[in-house]
Amino acid sequence: MIKVGDKLPEAKFSMLDDGDMKNPTTKDLFAGKKVVLFAVPGAFTPTCSQAHLPGYVALADKIKAKGVEEIICLSVNDAFVMDAWGKASNAEHIIMLADGNGAFCKAMGLDMDTDSFGGVRSQRFSMLIEDATVKALNVEDAGRFEVSDAETMLAML
């Protein structure tokens, strides 16, 4: 599993930007920037929609006031689902990023197989990243939501 001090693996993502499909890379998103990345097992799922994403939406201004340039929500979903979820959640200050086949999560060792529920998904986690290097990492135990929330990340900044 990736750890504090490691560089992020190279990956290609997908996202919608004003209706246009974009495919940014790890370098595009993280090089030379201070970024908070949080990942969820699935868009529109209960804990993700009722607590995880809403916490970052509510605290986005406070997190960015601490010098964070971008807040990214990552899920192993497609870009269209992530875009719709962001719009439904008023997440206009958060980049809704798709790791469509889970390659990025797998490369970090933060994937999980949910079997018939959804297949390969991301574990629930948050990280502080500076210039593509992990500075803080909070990985949840299976079925938990205690350390990857926005309040914990804000307190770490």
Which are the catalytic amino acids? 48
Report the distance separating Cα 126 and Cα 136, nearest Å. 8
- Judged against a pLDDT cut of 80, whether residue 116 lies above it is answered with no
Report the distance separating Cα 88 and Cα 81, nearest Å. 10
Q: What is the pLDDT of residue 148?
A: 97
| Mean pLDDT value of segment 1-22 | 97
Q: What is the pLDDT of residue 117?
A: 65
pLDDT-above-70 percentage for the chain: 97
SS3 letters across the chain:
CCCCCCECCCCECEEEECCEEECCEHHHHHCCCEEEEEEECCCCCHHHHHHHHHHHHHHHHHHHCCCCCEEEEEECCCHHHHHHHHHHCCCCCCEEEECCCCHHHHHHCCEEECHHHCCEEECCEEEEEECCEEEEEEECCCCCCCCCCHHHHHHHC
> What is the reported pTM?
0.95
Domains in the chain, start-ordered, CATH in brackets? 30-156 (3.40.30.10)
Q: Average pLDDT, whole number, for the chain? A: 94
